[in-house]
Structure 1
Amino acid sequence: MSYTASKVKGVGRHSWSIVFRHPVRKDPTGKVGLRVRRGLGTTDENEAQRLVDQMNEILSDSSLWDLSAKPLALLRYNEKIVAAFYDYLEPKNTDYYSLREAHLPLPGADQGYAKVLLVGSTGAGKTTLLRQFIGSDPKKDRFPSTSPNKTTVSDIEVICSPGDYEAIVTFFELREIRLHVEDCVMAAVLAKVNGMDDNTVSMRLLEHSEQRFRFFYVLGDPNLDLDDEEEEDEDQELSVNEHRVTTEERSRFLAVIKGYLAQVNELASVSTKVKEQLIKELNINPDSLDSEDKTAFEEIFDEELRQKKEFHALVDEILDEMAERFKLLKDGELEYDGDQWPLTWKYRTKDRTTFIENVRRLSSNYAPQFGKLLTPLVQGIRVKGPFMPNWYNVVPRLVLIDGQGIGHTVSSTSSLPSQTSRKFDACDAIILVDSAKQPMQTAALSVIKELVASGHISKLRICFTHLDELKGDNLPTRKSRINHVGASLNQVVSHIRETLGYEVAVNLDLLLSERSYYLANLDQVMQEKDKHTLEQLKDLISTLETSIFVEKISEAIPFYDEANLIIAVQNATKRFHDIWRGRFGKASSSNEPAQHWTRLKALSRRLALNYDNGEYDNLRPVSELKDRLMEHIRIYLNQPVRWVPGNVSDDEKKNAVDRIAREIHSKLFDLTTQRLWTDRLTSWNNAFNLSGRGSAQRRIEHMERIYDQAAPIPGEAATTQSHEYLLGIRQLVKTAITLKGGRFV
């Protein structure tokens, strides 16, 4: 196959870009020939053509298609052209945390700061609690943004410190945003083909199916009529300069979106032709296909449509329009990557109002600003300044970390997102925010369960919100409501005792009760009538400031039998496989529902292309294997062969085991990530690349094979893989036990 480059100029753009198919890299459908589009930084057509000619020389010489040829290419060609080709040959995994850390380091225990992680179900009120901690007015500031739905995918880190206001913001890579835009374009085209109305088509185009990337924040919402909205409070209107979308701007945004929808209609026509051609070539009747053939046809249709130049032209236009929004950041400093896509934004000022106004462009979900917000493009926000509530005397020495909601999980096998549980080790306190309006749900239970298993339970604080909304004839007083909510904690303790063992639940009911806070009217400015909530909040902040974690050294020495560890690993691995058997539509005791082929393919794509921490929605194989292992290893740790001395208290035993569990948890993520993901990238690529009749079932077989090789059940078959798997876990656990004061018989 021959590869050629060409120059293009986007709609309304002055500078030229180069477009070519990369002869080595695969595209999102798994085919070699990744489409690359990169700005050339010139408005001169002759200069642009000269650069295109250089790229065509590289594309015509296969000896240059290896990373080792880059030094030679730099001697011959313009560095922009060399970068455009070879950047895609180098492994590229942006370390967003390190980018923020390089500019604005998080202070820690050495500086007297406690790091506090807020976790909770979407809509429980954790960001509203954060607002109270930092003194953010719910009407004038509206920072960070709150919503009963998924608001943003970014982490927000707040350093409470005297001095100027500073910010460092990191943005998702262009390749990741492009992937989601392509999904949106495909969803919109299919909606049009299936005869859905224009409103549905436009929302499929502007909002990703996972509801994590709401691109109408950036481009404008054609379905939003602000004239029909209820009038807002007067003091909110008079707060700060909102930079609301004007009538003229809204008209322009809608015209641009209308142009996109016209292209969607054209693509729908193209897709109809593609469909007819496939029907003719394959000699089939789509209406009479069985489920297997229908699945194959849908996959082929998807891949064919994604190869069309009209498809990529629309994606390019949308990305170009998004890039224009960065020009609205008049203050601060933008840093760009090799794709000329913003990598970071840095800002510093003494003025709090101006600071929040600028940062809100990158974090808001305020409807009157739809079309001028960058929120969906933001990966992480770190701010520093004298943030404090008006009801507290000093700026608390806290680092407050708020991230994506953990969702409303309904399965007892659900695991937390890896980006959440990976933070447990580095934090001094973990606040679980849960709504008092209903009994504790599975998502909140999953947090407590993992904290117990991993030895971090001493860091937990629980905040029950919406206490004012808990009503009933049997709940006439605040005390009765608190007792009603507190009763759900007994059920939590019972569940943990049943699943992780009696030893781990010693005094757990007392600990959870003592560390629970009951809050009302958090979405309002605290007043005299809120004295009970104010007392709770003041006590909580005071407690958090002194919560810097110091590991307790226990005099108790547990002695373990290594043979029992093998049984623990065997049971954990069996549970992991049982979960996935259910998801693969096979007999299982896990009660997990069978997953549609599109969800399994989406997961394989995340793992093959290294996106989203290798997770798709609630499918998190790396975290799930880690959690099953951690749970069963914790049960093993709770039951040593003997204790020395023999008269050790239950609390001392628990402290000793917690030390070991924390050490294991900190290392286990790396082991499961390596075995299940990084060591098997080729296998995940093979699973993702499958297409044609029977591909859905073959993908399941590929995934089963990956799991069998990465996590073989010990004892079922003596293989090299099972030996390596068991050896790796045994070494990890044995090292942790001996390092933290345990012994083996």
Structure 2
Amino acid sequence: MAQPRYSAAKARAQGRPGWTVTFRHPLRGDAKGKPGLKVRRGLGTADADEADRLVAELNVILADTSWWSALKRDEAERRFSKVITAAFYDEIQAGRPDPWDVRERHIRLRDAAEDYSRIIFVGTTGAGKTSLLRHVIGSDPEEDRFPSTSTAKTTVSDIEVVLADEPFAAVVTFFSEFWVQANLEDCIADACAAAWTNAPPTKVAERFLNHRDQRFRLTYTLGSWEDESSTIPDDDWAFEDTISTSATDQGAIDEDERRTNASLLRAYVERIFAISKRAILALSDELDEDVSKLTGADLEAAQELFEERIQDDPDFDELVHDVMDSLRSKFDLLSKGELEFHPSGWPAKWTFECLERREFIEQIRWFSSNYAPQFGRLLTPLVDGIRILGPLFPTFTESQPKLVLLDGQGLGHTPDSSASVTTHITRRFAEVDVILLVDNAQQPMQAASLSVIRAAATGGHQQKLAIAFTHFDQVKGINLPSFAEKRAHVMASVSNGLANLRDALGNSIIRALERSVDKQCFMLGALDQPSAKLPKGVRGELERMLETFKKAIEPPPAPAANPVYRPDGLVLALQSAARGFRRPWSARLGLQPHENTHKEHWGRIKALNKRIATEIDTEYDNLKPVADLLARLSEEISRFLDNPATWHPRAPDETEAEAALSTIRQQVYTDLHRIVERRLVQDHLDDWRAAYDLHGKNSTFARAQEMNAIFEVGAPIASTVINSAAAEFIQEMRRLVYQAIVMNGGALQVDDLP
């Protein structure tokens, strides 16, 4: 088969002097996972003849496959210009380092060996976990405004804080260039789809500036869309602001910069309308009918074809790269700190150190803020993680606790307590001493909060669980006149929630939670106020919470007895777990009905497919196949572990038994994260890419079948006749569970082994 031809061309660098080169890289996958990712790199020259010479060099490399190897880089550097070898070979070098490791090398997280407690904050969006974090690190809501808070998804990156009596230091890591570009492609495609429906420019701009999962918000970095046609006066909806912004007004961008940003946004939206119009005309000519009048299955097929046509439009890639250039240019505005780049030129990390708190917070806010007057310059949506160290101690107490605090994106609101918690959170459970569930006391123990309890318990981490109930000041009622009655009202919801989890978790875990939960629940309110203004009762609860953090690193007693298991029940547990995973996913894919699960829109399924196929993520919004299988396996294996055949050397009491079983559950849970992702994703990347590449009529159904086939191999349901896939699955799971049992003091009845 003939090798596809690749060539490079020069282009003007948007908003900058000099030339760039654009080309499709033969060894880099595009959004479909196929070779030919479009790359744009600066040539470092404003001379047209010099640019032509450099482009000619790159075309020599692109025309000769013998150069297409990282091993040829040294030879290429002797023959070609440095800028050209970098443009080609930087794209095929070893993969991007783990951002967590990058931050760890710069600022090390302390642990129990140094008397530090690690706490992870987990809670639904808007529950108030970041407001609570502010109080623990002594951050004033008026003066510091860090970390940012709002009722929407504010925390979209990992925030890690080390409290230490040392100079202030920070390291910020950024999402990869490919991750940003893939999300940007989604935004432009969504905006084009809105233009197809004749949506007004305001709606098209909204789709362009805000990714559908609400994590990637270009508004922060490119600026807000200014709707000159709006007829609703802002004064009609001007509520009183309880927190002064005067302290931060000086950080607002000036009027000239705002107008420049607005003009650029209008130009982008105009290009989106033009791309959409050309795609509609091309598709109508191709199908010999007006696609805007299609309905049903024909419309669905046309919509997929429309997405392909807009990405085939020459200006689609140009628009993507123009916006990427705009995003990259925002880093030029950083005036302090050290910014390091990947070989491709994309920012890798930013580091900063200083002695003065105000200066430190002012610089950190560029990477975490959601302050509207600074829209057009904030780097928040590009940030993968922020780690800071310094004397960030609480002001509601005189103590200086040794804490490491981990905060991340809030959980989505879900009506189903069996919904899986993202693995981005659960994989950290083994590394922390406290899992602090932050919940709203006005509406306590909703499904998402119960999902956290469910995940922590089946993973053997129930002893780490603590609950901070925010908005306790809003718990009101004629039958709730005192603190004691209000607290009893909230705790009744906890008891009821645990009772609802009894079938899923088993009696022993629920009883263990009931024994410990009362002393590890904290009633908090007025957290939007500075610490100095908090009521005495709230300060007392916060101090009690800090004491719980401190005690969390005390080593548990050695198990008084160890469990002994008969292995035969494990196969039934695996069968139940696979069925509990597969049946809801068959319903989501539209292949068979399920009583508690609805069919997902084809666009959402395709979005999940794209994220996995391009190795961006393993989940999309609430579609989390890896987390789902992890949850079902950990729950069923936990129930198996709850019922040992006997104990050695004696029968323990309930507390002793639960302590022994928790250590086994923890290892199983940790190992499952690695194995489940491999079985569903890593072993099937080619299959995920093939599924994403399907297009045209009936491609939605075909894609669903391909994804279901991946799940059939990754999580086979054993039956009377066990096929090779099921046998391999059972063998791997047996090895994992048996190893966890033996390594943590348990035993197997050898005569029952197959």
TM-score by length of 1: 0.96
| Percent identity (aligned) | 38
Quickly say closer, same or farther: Cα 1:234–1:730, change in 2 above 3 A: closer
1:623-665 deviation per Cα after TM superposition (whole angstroms, max 9, x unaligned):
1111110000000000001112343111111001001001111
CA-CA distance at 1:525 after TM superposition = 1.6
- 2:727 aligned with 1:726: no
Structural mapping, 1:457-468, within 5 Å: 457-468=462-473
Distance 1:68 1:266 in 2: 43
CA-CA distance at 1:476 after TM superposition = 2.2
CA-CA distance at 1:673 after TM superposition = 0.9
1:531-572 deviation per Cα after TM superposition (whole angstroms, max 9, x unaligned):
110000011112212321634420211110111111111111
Matched residue of 1:23: which SS?
strand
Tell me what 1:581 maps to: 586
Distance 1:96 1:224 in 2: 38
Structural mapping, 1:628-647, within 5 Å: 628-647=632-651
Tell me what 1:740 maps to: 744
- 2:69 aligned with 1:37: no
Structural mapping, 1:268-283, within 5 Å: 268-280=276-288
Preserved CA contact (<8 Å) 2:121 2:438: yes
Structural mapping, 1:315-354, within 5 Å: 315-354=320-359
Preserved CA contact (<8 Å) 1:152 1:213: no
CA-CA distance at 1:106 after TM superposition = 0.8
Match of 2:60 among 47, 50, 57: 57
Preserved CA contact (<8 Å) 1:152 1:375: no
Tell me what 2:19 maps to: 16
Counterpart code for 1:207: N
Quickly say closer, same or farther: Cα 1:515–1:744, change in 2 above 3 A: same
Matched residue of 1:139: which SS?
coil
Quickly say closer, same or farther: Cα 1:548–1:80, change in 2 above 3 A: farther
Match of 1:135 among 133, 138, 144: 138
Preserved CA contact (<8 Å) 2:32 2:613: no
Distance 1:223 1:288 in 2: 32
Counterpart code for 2:275: L
Structural mapping, 1:615-626, within 5 Å: 615-626=619-630
Quickly say closer, same or farther: Cα 1:357–1:660, change in 2 above 3 A: same
Distance 1:237 1:622 in 2: 43
Tell me what 2:561 maps to: 556
Preserved CA contact (<8 Å) 2:148 2:368: yes
Structural mapping, 1:513-524, within 5 Å: 513-524=518-529
1:22-63 deviation per Cα after TM superposition (whole angstroms, max 9, x unaligned):
234332145442211122333333333222112111211123
Gap runs ≥5 in structure 1: none
Structural mapping, 1:39-438, within 5 Å: 39-90=42-93, 92-223=95-226, 228=235, 230=238, 236-239=244-247, 242-280=250-288, 284=289, 286=291, 291-438=296-443
CA-CA distance at 1:10 after TM superposition = 2.5
Distance 1:466 1:212 in 2: 25
CA-CA distance at 1:376 after TM superposition = 0.6
Matched residue of 1:361: which SS?
helix
Distance 1:640 1:589 in 2: 33
- 2:662 aligned with 1:658: yes
CA-CA distance at 1:105 after TM superposition = 1.0
Tell me what 2:719 maps to: 715
1:338-365 deviation per Cα after TM superposition (whole angstroms, max 9, x unaligned):
2211110000000100110110011000
1:92-131 deviation per Cα after TM superposition (whole angstroms, max 9, x unaligned):
3441001111111111122211111000000000000000
Match of 2:616 among 599, 611, 618: 611
Gap runs ≥5 in structure 2: 750-754
Structural mapping, 1:693-708, within 5 Å: 693-708=697-712
Preserved CA contact (<8 Å) 2:226 2:262: no
Preserved CA contact (<8 Å) 1:578 1:590: no
Tell me what 2:694 maps to: 690
CA-CA distance at 1:233 after TM superposition = 6.5
Preserved CA contact (<8 Å) 2:86 2:344: no
Distance 1:716 1:125 in 2: 50
Counterpart code for 1:63: S
Deviating more after overlay: 193-202 vs 540-549: 540-549
Distance 1:605 1:243 in 2: 38
Preserved CA contact (<8 Å) 1:362 1:374: yes
Deviating more after overlay: 78-87 vs 5-14: 78-87
CA-CA distance at 1:285 after TM superposition = 5.5
Tell me what 2:752 maps to: none
CA-CA distance at 1:66 after TM superposition = 4.2
Distance 2:702 2:56 in 1: 43
Count, aligned residues: 741
Distance 1:285 1:216 in 2: 34
CA-CA distance at 1:472 after TM superposition = 2.1
Matched residue of 2:377: which SS?
coil
Structural mapping, 1:463-612, within 5 Å: 463-527=468-532, 530-548=535-553, 550-589=555-594, 591-612=596-617
Q: RMSD in angstroms over aligned alpha carbons?
A: 2.1
Deviating more after overlay: 18-27 vs 320-329: 18-27
Tell me what 2:653 maps to: 649
Distance 1:600 1:552 in 2: 47
Distance 1:610 1:623 in 2: 16
CA-CA distance at 1:372 after TM superposition = 1.6
CA-CA distance at 1:711 after TM superposition = 1.3
Match of 1:668 among 663, 668, 672: 672
Quickly say closer, same or farther: Cα 1:337–1:234, change in 2 above 3 A: same
CA-CA distance at 1:11 after TM superposition = 2.5
Distance 2:703 2:82 in 1: 41
Preserved CA contact (<8 Å) 2:132 2:527: yes
Matched residue of 2:406: which SS?
strand
Quickly say closer, same or farther: Cα 1:249–1:25, change in 2 above 3 A: closer
Counterpart code for 2:152: N
Quickly say closer, same or farther: Cα 1:206–1:719, change in 2 above 3 A: same
- 2:463 aligned with 1:443: no
1:359-382 deviation per Cα after TM superposition (whole angstroms, max 9, x unaligned):
001100011111121111111000
1:257-296 deviation per Cα after TM superposition (whole angstroms, max 9, x unaligned):
122122223223322322223223xxx5546756333322
Distance 1:224 1:645 in 2: 75
Quickly say closer, same or farther: Cα 1:31–1:240, change in 2 above 3 A: closer
Quickly say closer, same or farther: Cα 1:287–1:201, change in 2 above 3 A: closer
Counterpart code for 2:83: K
Distance 1:243 1:544 in 2: 36
Deviating more after overlay: 151-160 vs 494-503: 494-503
Distance 1:48 1:313 in 2: 19
Tell me what 1:2 maps to: 5
